[in-house]
Structure 1
Amino acid sequence: MEAHGVGLRQLSVLLFCVTGIWSAYIYQGVLQETVSTKRFGADQKRFEHLAFLNLAQNVVCLVWSFIMIKLWSRSSSGGAPWWSYWSAGITNTIGPTMGIEALKYISYPAQVLAKSSKMIPVMLMGTLVYGIRYTIPEYVCTLLVAGGVSSFALLKTSSKTISKLARPNAPLGYGLCFLNLAFDGFTNATQDSISARYPKTSAWDIMFGMNLWGTIYNMVYMFGWPHGSGFEAVQFCKQHPEAAWDIFLFCLCGAVGQNFIFLTISQFGSLTNTTITTTRKFVSIVVSSLLSGNPLSAKQWGSVSMVFSGLSYQIYLKWKRGQRLQKKRKPM
């Protein structure tokens, strides 16, 4: 009975994590698409300063992580010093900015698909730079994802979707997404290196350090000169309170979503978190398609299915690898 109770508790926590991640990030995706495509107020103006979203989210997540450290952090020493995140903070500022800016040139579903193909630059760098040899199934995963993203990019986008974009330009939009992935790769590698050097570093410490530097860099970028676009963004929000509210909710969703991601990783591991976040991206595309009133074509859905088939297969391969490692570690 006790084991059964533990199982039910674990299942309840898992469902809680899934609900939290899906709710926070799906709604954040809706808000991101709204802010990037909507015309606000009687003057029907677009919010052109999308990089401001990163600054706003940095500030909200910085405050959130500081509160969490004061409330929940058990270790007062041994964690990574705040200055150690300066290099990862640069790439974590530039990368997401490019991803958000891409929404001026491509649709939200296209951006989600492009950013789902993180394994492509990782494997290319691994093969060309480090001489890593991958297995045939891993190449199959990559080909499925690359083929799906490429075919989606080549398919004609509806005129209704194009009319919502600020400056339609598919090559530039996809290029920004792939640069976003490249910078993310450096960010993740640097974070792993910091965690290895300072094992007592908590998830909240990482969140605080990254968002502290992100806030500094974005403040310099947005307000570093008299005519910085940050001043225009703030003025726009004053004139259009609806946009300011959407931006605040966007940031809040990011902070809440990170809480659930940390909880999932601590309770169930990174593989479970990857599975949840991957399925969330697929649902985000479905939700975007339904809310926009402009459903994807059958061929576009075929491309989406290719991408997520590749991602699902990759998750399965990681699970199998984990199972084999567990068997090897078991005492004879």
Structure 2
Amino acid sequence: MTVTNKHSKLFICATGIFVCYFYFGMLQEKITRGQYGDRENREKFTYMFALVFVQCLMNYIFAKTILLTVMKQGEDTTSTLYYALSALTYLLAMVCSNMALQFVSYPTQVIGKAGKPIPVMILGVLLGKKIYPIRKYIFILLIVIGVALFMYKDGNVSKKQSESYLSVGELLLLLSLTMDGLTSAVQERMRAEHKSKSGHMMLNMNLWSVICSGTVIIISGELFEFIHFLQRYPFTIWHIMTFSIAGAFGQYFIFLTVAEFGPLPCSIITTTRKFFTVLGSILIFGNNLLPRQWLSTFIVFSGLFLDAMYGKDKSKKGTAK
């Protein structure tokens, strides 16, 4: 591959990630925070397991198609138990993240989820016995400070709002981050023990997520309520389908970027796109930020960018003492 072709391919991958996830983020906010019905009969979208079911089903179909046509990766020897465990934590992370949007703004959700390296590193140390360089702890500390500053409740926030809506949203984000950390820990074991490939991970994790979420929505009755909701507001079918398609294409571009250019360019691209997604949410949906929150947003993304640039280390397993 020539330098020009390589740069062109990187540009295509970066553009794909930006466009797909920007559209994905805007639709996620529109679906989960939108008001449906007339003024007398307002209702919100509350079918989070059903939404994730559709999303994972689309990811599975997309991954199956890619593996059969473009990204053939040979035989997969990974344990089914690993796929089932990672799918469960992956599913819960997405559900909690979507549910959090019923209580917090989209910029708050993005900033909160930007703290994903925190549980990943903690669980990497506790479960994977990994050793990280001091600079990585400093970069992660920056992210912690930024997220804490962003989430800090000002004195002029009403006590009722502080104790109900925001606390529930933050708890859901915390749970989502914990599930992200567990997912990464299981995936590390999969790579270490079975050399699991990205395409196989995407296929099988989404398959098990479809099975789990499908079981939940059938037993709970959410499936039928979700179908009735779509019958009342048929325009949401287009939003949900394009939201899921954008997410599937976004995942593919991420996997392609990692495979062709490595995790560093991918980390920089995804970090940058999150920042512009926050800006897009502010401009399109009018989610205003306080000066303190602008500062904390800068701190969080500075920590993420520095971690992407200089925090990667050939982390090795520590010896048990």
Q: Tell me whether the two structures share a fold, i.e. TM-score over 0.5.
A: yes
> 2 CA distance for matches of 1:78 and 1:308?
36
Distance change (3 Å), C-alpha of 1:106 and 1:24 = same
Q: Do 1:90 and 1:214's aligned partners in 2 also have CA atoms closer than 8 Å?
A: yes
Q: Do 2:264 and 2:308's aligned partners in 1 also have CA atoms closer than 8 Å?
A: yes
Q: For 1:293-327, what per-residue CA distance to the aligned partner results, in whole angstroms no more than 9, with x for missing partners?
A: 243222211110111111112122136x57xxxxx
Corresponding residue to 1:176 among 168, 172, 177: 172
Shift of 1:9: 0.9
Letter matched to residue 280 of structure 2: V
Corresponding residue to 1:36 among 32, 35, 55: 32
Letter matched to residue 13 of structure 2: C
> 1 CA distance for matches of 2:68 and 2:122?
42
Query: Which residue of 1 is the match for residue 319 of structure 2?
Result: none
Q: Does 1:7 align with 2:3?
A: yes
Letter matched to residue 271 of structure 1: L
Q: Does 1:291 align with 2:284?
A: yes
Query: Which residue of 2 is the match for residue 229 of structure 1?
Result: 222
Q: Does 1:209 align with 2:207?
A: no
Query: Which residue of 2 is the match for residue 141 of structure 1?
Result: 139
Stretch of structure 1 that moved more, 115-124 or 54-63: 115-124
Q: Do 2:59 and 2:244's aligned partners in 1 also have CA atoms closer than 8 Å?
A: yes
Letter matched to residue 114 of structure 2: S
Query: Which residue of 1 is the match for residue 273 of structure 2?
Result: 280
Query: Which residue of 2 is the match for residue 194 of structure 1?
Result: 190
Shift of 1:128: 6.3
Q: Does 1:219 align with 2:217?
A: no
TM-score normalised by length of structure 2: 0.87
Query: Which residue of 2 is the match for residue 256 of structure 1?
Result: 249
Q: Do 1:238 and 1:244's aligned partners in 2 also have CA atoms closer than 8 Å?
A: no
Shift of 1:136: 4.0
Unpaired runs of at least 5, structure 1:
323-332
Q: Do 1:66 and 1:208's aligned partners in 2 also have CA atoms closer than 8 Å?
A: yes
Query: Which residue of 1 is the match for residue 317 of structure 2?
Result: none
**Structure with the greater alpha carbon radius of gyration:** 1
Matches within 5 A, 1:10-25: 10-25=6-21
Q: For 1:212-249, what per-residue CA distance to the aligned partner results, in whole angstroms no more than 9, with x for missing partners?
A: 10000001111124xx2221112101210122211111
Q: Does 1:106 align with 2:104?
A: yes
Q: For 1:64-107, what per-residue CA distance to the aligned partner results, in whole angstroms no more than 9, with x for missing partners?
A: 11112221343553443656511111111112111111111111
Q: Do 2:82 and 2:186's aligned partners in 1 also have CA atoms closer than 8 Å?
A: no
Distance change (3 Å), C-alpha of 1:157 and 1:311 = farther
Q: Do 1:26 and 1:280's aligned partners in 2 also have CA atoms closer than 8 Å?
A: yes
Q: For 1:264-319, what per-residue CA distance to the aligned partner results, in whole angstroms no more than 9, with x for missing partners?
A: 01110011111111111111101000111243222211110111111112122136
Query: Which residue of 2 is the match for residue 325 of structure 1?
Result: none
Query: Which residue of 2 is the match for residue 96 of structure 1?
Result: 94
Q: Do 1:271 and 1:318's aligned partners in 2 also have CA atoms closer than 8 Å?
A: no
Distance change (3 Å), C-alpha of 1:236 and 1:207 = same
> 2 CA distance for matches of 1:188 and 1:277?
17
Distance change (3 Å), C-alpha of 1:142 and 1:77 = closer
SS at match of 1:77: coil
Distance change (3 Å), C-alpha of 1:157 and 1:103 = farther
Shift of 1:40: 2.3
User: What's the RMSD between the two structures over aligned residues?
Assistant: 2.7
Alignment size in residue pairs: 309
Shift of 1:168: 6.0
> 2 CA distance for matches of 1:229 and 1:149?
33
